[in-house]
């Protein structure tokens, strides 16, 4: 991993068009400003990690009784059923 | 993306549909081909089965069933990957999580499955700057009011 030291208001450029700027450092928190083209998604890593985790816990061996789940769902949507 | 068709029609028209994810889904990158198994009695839930591993199945549903105003905004990168120019060219499903021994049945609204209707290219996209939950509760408090509340039995073998 490339490690660079930066001060507030200094930035780094990744490729031709992604700029990451240190906006503020306060205690343990660093605020970063990211300028990137609209077609480059920027996510907090925890979000990716939590989607990964959620997918892993959603995977099924087909034992879930979907009919029962379906009945409860329909009852919830329309209690008269 | 609007789903106005009736449940019965949808279940039969979707059953057996193939889904091709060129990049897999997050955490399951090597599994690229899935098939939808839908039955009227299981609406609005469907199975999405991996074609390469029978042990990999997901429960999916139309997000509009749990969030009427759901409106995912897809990035240019995702549109390029899906080979679409407009979101209307896609169908959208979300993965439902039914944890064992828990009644916290949730849908992942932050990372929907987008499907190019014409070319059948699918992708799990991560929405940016949209305040949707990874664990949007599907049944929430209403469940507690229903007598048959033994939801934990869903997760057990039939």
Q: What is the pLDDT of residues A25-67, one digit of tens each?
A: 999 999 999 998 877 778 889 999 999 999 999 998 777 788 8
User: Could you tell me how many CB contacts below 8 A there are between chain A and chain B?
Assistant: 115
Closest CA to B80 of A17, A44, A40, A34: A40
Residue B59 gets which letter from DSSP?
E
The CA-based dihedral angle spanning residues B116, B57, A55, B109, taken in that order and rounded to the nearest 10 degrees: 50
* Separation of alpha carbons B40 and B46, rounded Å: 9
Q: Do A72 and B57 touch (CB under 8 A)?
A: no
| Residue among A43, A67, A68 minimizing CB distance to B128 | A43
The alpha carbon of residue B90 and the mean position of all alpha carbons in its chain are separated, in whole angstroms, by 13
Interface of A with B (CB under 8 A): 38-43, 47-48, 50-70, 72-73, 75-76
Q: What is the pLDDT of residues B35-47, one digit of tens each?
A: 999 888 888 899 9
Q: From chain B, pick out residues whose CB is under 8 angstroms from the CB of A67.
A: 41-42
Indicate if the pLDDT at residue B148 is higher than 60.
no
| Residue among A43, A67, A72 minimizing CB distance to B143 | A72
- pLDDT at residue B149, rounded to an integer: 44
Indicate if the pLDDT at residue B150 is higher than 60.
no
Q: How close does chain A come to B139, measured CA to CA in Å?
A: 7
Q: Do B45 and A43 touch (CB under 8 A)?
A: no
> What mean pLDDT do residues B51-65 have?
93
Q: What is the pLDDT of residues B81-93, one digit of tens each?
A: 999 999 999 999 9
* Separation of alpha carbons B35 and B14, rounded Å: 9
């Amino acid at each position: 991993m490339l490690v660079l030291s930066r001060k507030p208001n200094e930035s780094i450029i990744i490729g031709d068009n992604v700029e990451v700027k240190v906006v503020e450092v306060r205690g343990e928190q660093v605020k970063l400003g990211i300028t990137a083209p609209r077609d480059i998604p920027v996510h907090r890593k925890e979000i990716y990690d939590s989607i990964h985790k959620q997918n892993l816990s959603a995977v099924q061996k087909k034992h879930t009784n979907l009919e029962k789940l379906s009945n409860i769902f329909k009852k919830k949507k329309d209690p008269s059923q | 993306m609007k789903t106005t068709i009736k449940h019965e029609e949808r279940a039969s028209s979707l059953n057996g549909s193939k889904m091709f994810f060129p990049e897999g889904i997050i955490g399951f990158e090597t599994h690229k081909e899935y098939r939808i198994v839908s039955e009227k009695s299981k609406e609005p839930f469907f199975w999405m089965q991996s074609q390469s591993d029978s042990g990999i199945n997901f429960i999916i549903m139309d997000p509009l069933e749990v969030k009427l105003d759901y409106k995912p905004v897809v990035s240019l990168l995702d549109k390029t990957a899906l080979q679409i120019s407009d979101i209307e060219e896609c169908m959208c499903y979300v993965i439902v999580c039914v944890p064992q021994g828990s009644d916290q049945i949730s849908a992942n609204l932050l990372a929907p499955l987008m499907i190019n209707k014409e070319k059948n290219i699918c992708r799990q996209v991560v929405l940016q700057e949209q305040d949707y939950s990874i664990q949007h509760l599907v049944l929430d408090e209403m469940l507690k009011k229903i007598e048959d509340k033994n939801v934990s039995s869903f997760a057990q073998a039939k």
